[in-house]
Structure 1
Amino acid sequence: MAGQVTLSDVAREAGVSLATASRALNGSANRTVGADLRERVLEAASRLRYSPDGVAQAMARGRTTALGLVVPDIADPACAALASGVVAAAEDAGLSVTLTSTRHEPGREAALVALLERQRARAVVLAGGRQADPAGEQAVRAAVDSFRAVGGAVASVGRATFGVPTVVVGDREGASDLVTALHGRGYRRFAVLAGPQTHTLAADRSAGAVAALAALGCPPPVVVRGAFSRDGGYEGMRQVVEDRADVQVVLAVSDVMAAGALAAARDAGLSVPGDLAVAGYGDVGLLRDAMPGLTTVRLPLADIGALAVRLALEPPAAGEPETVRVTGQVVLRGSTPGV
């Protein structure tokens, strides 16, 4: 049976050495096999219905055909949207994707890169959402440098802090644009569900919103910290309702947090947008059919994922690593009709 045929059987059938059979079928980082010999080995393997060992191939080539994707939260729809772009681009390049999650835990990102190095992944995409932790970033940089030193490729989504090609998302600018658009609809008194102070993505978005409000001459917003999750949005909105202070519009720094905020408003007996307007960030598919439609900042998440794969797999250029900046687009919907 095919599963019982060994590489030695193929070598014997083709009349070549075991090493030659291995190089013909698995490739080699150092030596190649002539076309005639390779054809003879392939024909022998076909006759015997030999199934190559993927691990053996990786050992011979020095790399597997896997691309590792590291995200903060597999359950987050934004991560899922980005992952869809990574998977599509990886498949086009003949690679499979190994999906891993930091679960928002400092230290896991470096550990996951080290694990992917041990597994001989060809490339890694680090997909943002990390904690503001200098020691943790130093550990990630060391893990990235180690991975690249043995031939692996790395690209990042987020801040350009690891010396690798990076897709930088203009989250501060996106939040500023959102606030400006809401100001244009007559809103002046804001609350910001800002997520954790240590979450770099949430911090950029909340900082962009607060700075824009100051530039527009609006009163300082009510800023509520909490988890970067649906439950964080729910608890944040509950606090805003309890200490409302005449807030007109609540801006959540992610659509998932906005979903929690909408649920909390409903549970408190408030109408959105009749009593309180709500906006999010990201434009994930999960909330596009919400009633009322959620005002947000649309990010081309699948395109960002595909772009990160391209940056990872391109031959490294001389000089500084390539940085591509992507900006979001404000989408005004029924959750913020204006005042």
Structure 2
Amino acid sequence: MELVSPATLAEMARMAGASVATTSRDFTGGPGRPAPELLRGLSYLPNAAAQAAGRGHTNVVGLIVHDINDPYFSSIAAGVTGVADEQDMIVTLADTRRRPEREAKYLASLRQLRCRAVILAGSRSADQASEARLRREIASFTAGGGRVAMISQQLPGVDTVLVENSTGARDLAHSLFDLGHRSFVVLAGPASLRTSRDRVSGFRQGLADRGLRLEPRHVLHADFTREGGFAAAMHWRNSGVKATCLFAANDVMAVGAMAALRQLGLSVPEEISIAGFDDILPLRDISPAVTTVHIPLETLGMEAMGLVLAPECGLTPRVRRIRCTVRLRESTRHVP
């Protein structure tokens, strides 16, 4: 096999009988292109770094998530990559492994790579030092012409796709109350995560709307993971706290809790009901089907891409609010 070295832009210009500038426009959509038949036989690889320097950015969008193993984030990524493919863009992924201090580090790296935009997906942390570093990096990124959008709670001055977690959890509490449940235990994520706090707060408000009080000892904090849900369910069983329904603050915790309940020999929903939040795809393969709060996860990614690709509209940050809907399924029974 004969190996052909890629032609340089200057060589292509000479063979095409055109200037370097004119030949360059042939690959960037500009007018005055040289004859295409003179170019088809040439192997030319544009210098991405040089193109980025000329434009100020590449055609790359960075996506920073907390845990790509969590179906919540993989579904968001599917929405982001779907829009990117339509726009002939590339998505590069960074996984913080649920360590908030890594967000600022990854954003700085993406800024150095001249990414066109960055989307940060995941709950905000109560860690003020990490948040301050992230704000500084966002300011540097946008000052250089980059665009940033968040899928989470808002930060001042940043476009955001905002999930109405509190309202969704409140509606779930209402629905479970209407099924006859009066005693609950909440398997919450870390108290430092705002998503967990919002969902617990909304659930507590929903019970208060019906005249019930959620006692502090009925809220068990654990990792926002399957393992965290498993551990929290085990802790609940050993605590002696009575409940007819467990509410896990996300679906992966609910899945872990159901595994713990099976190990304990408790039947769902006959002996204990359980509900989650997010409506991740793997729930479709779990029996009994899990009651949850549905979020259109791929839509979150699509909306975030829309924010970073749309023309700027002044100094006021844009917010896309996403409503959640309760999905009652077989894991929660009616209590007479």
TM-score range, shorter chain: over 0.9
What displacement does 1:92 show?
1.5
Pick the aligned partner of 1:334 from 312, 318, 330.
Answer: 330
Choose from 193, 204, 208 the match for 1:214.
208
Residue 137 of structure 1 is matched in structure 2 by 131
SS of the residue 2:39 aligns to: helix
Q: How does 1:106-125 map to 2 (within 5 A)?
A: 106-125=100-119
**1:166, 1:220 → 2: CA distance?**
31
SS at match of 2:34: helix
Aligned equivalents of 1:52 and 1:268: distance in 2?
61
RMSD: 1.7
- Corresponding residue of 1:39: 34
Q: Which residue of 2 aligns with 1:30?
A: none
Q: What TM-score, normalized to structure 1?
A: 0.92
Change (3 A) 1:103 1:162: farther
Match of 1:187 in 2: 181
Distance 1:95 1:336 in 2: 43
Give structure 1 stretches of 5+ with no counterpart: 28-32
CA-to-partner distance for each residue in 1:135-190, whole Å, 9 max, x for gaps? 22221111111111111111111112141221111001111100110000000100
1: CA distance, partners of 2:155 / 2:57: 25
For residue 8 of structure 1, report the CA deviation from its aligned partner: 2.6
Aligned residue in 2 for 1:53: 47
2:91 matches 1:97: yes
1:66 corresponds to which residue?
A: 60
User: What SS does structure 2 have at the residue aligned with 1:39?
Assistant: coil
- Assess, with a 3 A threshold, how the Cα gap between structure 1 residues 207 and 3 changes in structure 2: closer, same or farther: farther
Secondary structure in 2 matching 1:236: helix
Aligned to 1:84: 78
- Structure 2 partner of 1:152: 146
Superposed counterparts of 1:159-308, under 5 Å:
159-221=153-215, 222-308=218-304
CA distance 1:149–1:140, change in 2 (3 Å): same
* From 16, 29, 34, the counterpart of 1:14: 16
Change (3 A) 1:127 1:230: same
Q: Displacement, 1:127?
A: 1.0
Q: Does the CA contact (< 8 Å) of 2:22 and 2:34 recur in 1? A: no
The CA distance in 2 between the partners of 1:68 and 1:152, in whole Å, is 11
For 2:53 and 2:12, how far apart are their aligned partners in 1?
Answer: 19
CA contact (8 A) 1:65 1:96 kept: yes
After TM superposition, give the deviation of residue 312 of structure 1 in Å: 1.0
Unaligned runs of 5+ in 2: none
Instruction: Name the SS for the 1:286 alignment partner.
Output: helix
Tell me the SS of whatever aligns to 1:166.
strand
Q: Quick check: 1:188–1:219 contact (8 Å CA) kept in 2? A: no
TM-score between the two structures when normalised by the length of structure 2: 0.93
AA aligned to 2:127 is D
Count of matched residue pairs: 331
Amino acid at match of 2:82: A
CA distance in 2, matches of 1:130, 1:319: 22
**Whole-angstrom distance in 2 between the partners of 1:106 and 1:245:** 33
